[in-house]
Amino acid sequence: MDNTGSDNVLISQSVAILIDGNNIERSIHSETNKPNTMLNFDTLVPRLLGNRGLNRLIYFREGKQISTKLKERLHSNYHGSVRPCHKSADIPLSIKATQLSNKVDTIIIMSGDSDFVELVRHLKAEGVRVEIAAVPATTSKYLVEEADYFHEITSDDWFTLETKKSAPRKKSDRARKQAPPAKKQ
């Protein structure tokens, strides 16, 4: 057996990805100036995991209006879930991270919010590796400094949905719809 190559290393790390949906959405929207820009989980999640195993993926989002397509896609592709939050995702995400701290090796927090600095410190004190994944321009430097690793979320990790523009009506169609109906004689 050759011990010189990294091909012989078996990594069996369990990872939880916890997403502050509102924070990440605001970050990518501020980068693109387009509110219809979304994360591409199909490329981002494998990149974040590397050759580690996904234990769970939870997308925390403030508000009741959560895309059914997002819920279905996260569930079918990653057995993930979407958790609506009453206000900010900070507290529910922090509680879940604390609950998972003895069940996983690594927690990846997708957020650039400095409110998570104390959570990162706590999780690391519990022996959990903590990584941050966020858009660099909107990420707290204190959060990056506390984390074990920082994954930059860049334009390679999102896409913009094209808005459907309705085809302009023909003038004759508009005129016909505006004309009063003919009277029967």
Instruction: Tell me the domain boundaries of the chain.
Output: 11-163
Question: In angstroms, rounded to a whole number, what is the distance separating the alpha carbons of residues 73 and 46?
Answer: 15
Mean pLDDT of 145-154: 98
> How far, in Å, CA of 129 to CA of 149, rounded?
9
Give, for 15, the enclosing helix (H) or strand (E).
strand 14-20
Task: Say which CATH topology domain 11-163 has.
Answer: Rossmann fold (3.40.50)
Question: In this predicted structure, which of 12-26, 61-75, 99-113 has the lowest mean pLDDT?
Answer: 61-75
Return the pLDDT at 104: 97
Query: Which strand (E) or helix (H) includes residue 1?
Result: none
Find, among 155, 52, 59, the residue nearest to 109 by Cα: 59
Stretch (H or E) spanning 71? helix 68-78
pLDDT-derived band of residue 4, with 50, 70 and 90 as boundaries? Answer: low
> Looking at the predicted structure, is the pLDDT value of residue 139 above 70?
yes
pLDDT band at 1 (very low <50, low <70, confident <90, very high): very low
pLDDT in tens, 64-91: 677 888 889 899 989 999 998 888 899 9
The predicted pLDDT at position 10 comes to 77
* C-alpha dist (Å) from residue 153 to 39, 52, 139, 144, 157: 9, 19, 10, 13, 6
At 55, which helix (H) or strand (E)?
Answer: strand 53-62
24: Cβ contacts below 8 Å, ≥ 6 apart: 39, 110, 111, 134, 135, 153
Q: What percent of the chain has pLDDT over 90?
A: 65
Distances (CA, A) of 50 to 12, 45, 120, 125: 11, 9, 21, 24
pLDDT in tens, 150-179: 999 999 999 988 776 655 555 555 454 555
